[in-house]
Chains A and B, each alone.
Chain A
């Protein structure tokens, strides 16, 4: 009896040890590139060229900062522009994807299945080529240097609709909708006040992904935003790389580091919803 108890305890200890060792290893692996990036932000271009990886800082932070701000990089403008675009994209994408998914999940309408198949099909179109058509179109209608073409298309985010649908399918008992109706709640209000809170973990997850994706998005903004005042942070970093002959790598890494900092903040803010979790059960009890 005791021996069996002991072996169970030994097993549990081994299990816990493995969990902590693996998680710590993975965490260190995740910190590594950030560490290199921050270290390189304090090193001179030539130090970086001589050996691109260093675990210890150097003393060129201020000179990198001077090079950075001496070029087209103005952190405040970039930050505000990036924020506008990313917040806009995230809010629109998360809200309207949930709404669309709710339409697919809670109602019975004739084109429902067809509409879902259609959304899936759009999601599967390779993005490579339709981007050419996209910016030709934006140039033609004269919408360059505006944030609209970067933000508004987010209303139609097929992959996110798909996720929200899958999430609702597992997490939304239709009885809740019915009881809301009996209480006299109108459909739109039901969605806003009952469904959205249920979806918090899903919303937070997708908000993070959408924010990160939009914040790091380079190629389309690079082509559509050609006016200095509209540059986002990644565009500014890309400008620092200028041409290969005389790239100031130290300041590039500093720019990259600055770009990533706001992402940390946003991520930490949203992460609590994933970590704590507002589970459905809590609502029912």
Chain B
């Protein structure tokens, strides 16, 4: 019988060291730098000196950049677009991913060739955004292009349409591309989640005579909650940072209909005036929005398991202490 004090807490710290060190070495400086310049007058190429903002009278005026950005109509437009584009691609994305997950994990009906389907459905995520953007640009070409040709052949329109000038078509296409590039990814995450569920739960349900639909909604979905939280939070973060496709597809057009907040940040910093301070302030605002939305998501999908786990660990710690004391 070993007589050792069994407090395992130190392993929590030890196992976190690599993460913390790598973060401190490579990411801390860039992040702090980004956060700080949002409050300064840093703009222009190669400028190294910067000062915190002051009013004309010399008082500190730390939030000057934030005021400017919030009053910037392009910024508010970009926020609005980002939310529209994210919603329009996320709802179909998660629905389709859930549907496919249900199909591919159905224990009564093994979809033949599902291995191949899973692989193929993820494939749009492998191609670079640039390639996809070019492809869709050509598809919607004007005055000649496959979509125009097809619609004209089907007599839906009598002359070629310049789709790149239609706000909602442009938004629709951007959302579709995002949906199409990511639903396979989401599906794989969800399937991995289902595979982590203890099969005996399904077996028990089957013995009780549950239908596949019931099993999916009563067992699979509730147990997928932790993974769903991950999907929601990361895709919200990814969605609010959407950049490649709207940038490469129509460069934010037409008339700023597809400009996103990340594009706005990028343009402030890199399109000629090097307004690093404003770009940073806009980043911080977006960061704030993401945090608020994440907290809401965490509240809704309340970490029930986390609460249970905390209780378990606490009980364990107490038990360990008792063992040491006795």
User: What residues of chain A have their CB less than 8 Å away from a CB belonging to chain B?
Assistant: 12, 15-16, 19-20, 23, 26-27, 29-31, 33-34, 36-37, 52-53, 96-97, 99-100, 102-112, 115, 119-134, 136-137, 149, 152-156, 159, 161-163, 166-167, 169-171, 174, 178, 181, 187, 191, 201-202, 204-205, 208-209, 212, 216, 218, 234, 256, 260, 263-264, 267-268, 271-272, 274-275, 277-282, 284
Residues of B within 8 A of A268 (CB): 119
Contact A274 to B195, CB < 8 A, known contacts A100-B15, A124-B291, A129-B34: yes
Q: Determine whether the beta carbon of A156 is less than 8 Å from that of B26.
A: yes
Q: Determine whether the beta carbon of A152 is less than 8 Å from that of B138.
A: no
Residues of A within 8 A of B134 (CB): 52
Chain B residues touching A, range? 35 or more
In the assembly, what is the distance between CA of A12 and CA of B103, in Å? 13
Q: Determine whether the beta carbon of B31 is less than 8 Å from that of A162.
A: no
Residues of B within 8 A of A209 (CB): 185
| Pairs A–B under 8 Å by Cβ, sample size 18 | A23-B111, A33-B132, A100-B15, A106-B8, A111-B12, A120-B233, A123-B234, A132-B276, A152-B26, A154-B22, A166-B226, A169-B306, A170-B224, A170-B227, A201-B192, A256-B128, A264-B126, A284-B198
Residues of A within 8 A of B286 (CB): 126
Residues of B within 8 A of A263 (CB): 126
Q: Which residue in A16, A36, A267, A280 is a CB contact (below 8 Å) of B135?
A: A36
Q: Determine whether the beta carbon of A130 is less than 8 Å from that of B30.
A: yes
Contact A205 to B283, CB < 8 A, known contacts A124-B291, A137-B30: no
Closest B residue, CB atoms, query A112: B12
Q: Determine whether the beta carbon of B117 is less than 8 Å from that of A27.
A: yes
Residues of B within 8 A of A260 (CB): 126-127
In the assembly, what is the distance between CA of A149 and CA of B29, in Å? 14
Residues of A within 8 A of B6 (CB): 181
Q: Which residue in A19, A100, A128 is a CB contact (below 8 Å) of B16?
A: A100
Q: Determine whether the beta carbon of B118 is less than 8 Å from that of A129.
A: no
Q: Which residue in A122, A272, A277 is a CB contact (below 8 Å) of B27?
A: A122
Residues of A within 8 A of B265 (CB): 126, 128-129
In the assembly, what is the distance between CA of A205 and CA of B135, in Å? 27
B206-217 vs A, Cβ < 8 Å mask (1 yes, 0 no): 000000000000
